[in-house]
Structure 1
């Protein structure tokens, strides 16, 4: 059986603590998509902002075109008029920071890799690795399904910090 250990990358936190330079799968070459928009290079234009209030209230064609363009060119966008209270966003950010400050072994209790072999979307870890030459994001994630509430898998919800409990 072929060695497929490449399918289970180490956490970025673990890599950052033990290496001088990121492994090749985390590096983009200039000719690759997004290669010209890497951190440290001058941004060609501001990050697009999508007004969710305008988009959802009137199904505004111009705002829909902005959203489509942002997804095709940038792959992400900022959101305005989303209706979320600042206090809620602050609470989520604080809970997230508290979780990511936990020791690695504590975070691994909520791994998105089952039995050391099988990837699942929910939990703590990195993206699914499908090919050996796939480019990976230099990030660790905690993906939790929130809605619909009856589909929450609380086994993936950390008990620390308390504010993250589902």
Structure 2
């Protein structure tokens, strides 16, 4: 059986602690740099902002057109007037930071790998690696399904910090 250990990248936290330079699969090639599709590159126009208050209260046609355009051209957008309290967003950010400051062993308890080798979207880890020459993001992430409530798989949810589950399950 062929060695497919490349399919299971180490966490970025682990790599950063043990190396001077990122491994080659995290580096962009010269041609990729020249293409100019880089985060942080100067943008000709700002990321679109969609006012959810206008969409949900009155279904403003102009705002709906902005949403359609943002999805078709950018693929994402910034949201304003969403109705979430600043204190709730602060709690979410604090709990998230606390989670990412935990030890690697503690975070791996929420791994997105089944039996340490089969990728699933939910949980803590990296993107799925499909090919040996795939460019990888220099990030570790925690992906959790929050809604619908019946779709939550709490097996992948952290138990630390203690407030994490309460904050993320009571956000609506």
TM-based fold match above 0.5: yes
CA distance 1:65–1:132, change in 2 (3 Å): farther
Say if 1:28 and 1:35, in contact at 8 Å, map to a contact too: no
> TM-score, normalized by length of structure 2?
0.83
Q: Which runs of 5+ in 2 are unaligned?
A: 167-172
CA distance 1:153–1:86, change in 2 (3 Å): same
Q: Which runs of 5+ in 1 are unaligned?
A: none
Q: Which residue of 1 aligns with 2:170?
A: none
> TM-score, normalized by length of structure 1?
0.85
SS of 2:79's partner is strand
Deviations 1:13-63 (A, max 9, x none): 111222222223223346549952424533322222111222333444433
SS of 2:25's partner is helix
Q: Which residue of 2 aligns with 1:136?
A: 136
Matched, 1:25 2:25: yes
SS of 2:50's partner is strand
CA distance 1:46–1:30, change in 2 (3 Å): farther
The structural deviation recorded for 1:86 is: 0.7
Q: Which residue of 2 aligns with 1:147?
A: 147
* Superposition CA RMSD, Å: 2.4
Pairwise mapping of residues 77-156 of structure 1 onto structure 2 (< 5 A)?
A: 77-156=77-156
Say if 1:145 and 1:151, in contact at 8 Å, map to a contact too: yes
SS of 2:36's partner is helix
The structural deviation recorded for 1:92 is: 0.3
How many residue pairs end up in the alignment? 166
Matched, 1:164 2:164: yes
Q: Which residue of 1 aligns with 2:10?
A: 10
Say if 1:29 and 1:35, in contact at 8 Å, map to a contact too: no
The structural deviation recorded for 1:151 is: 2.5
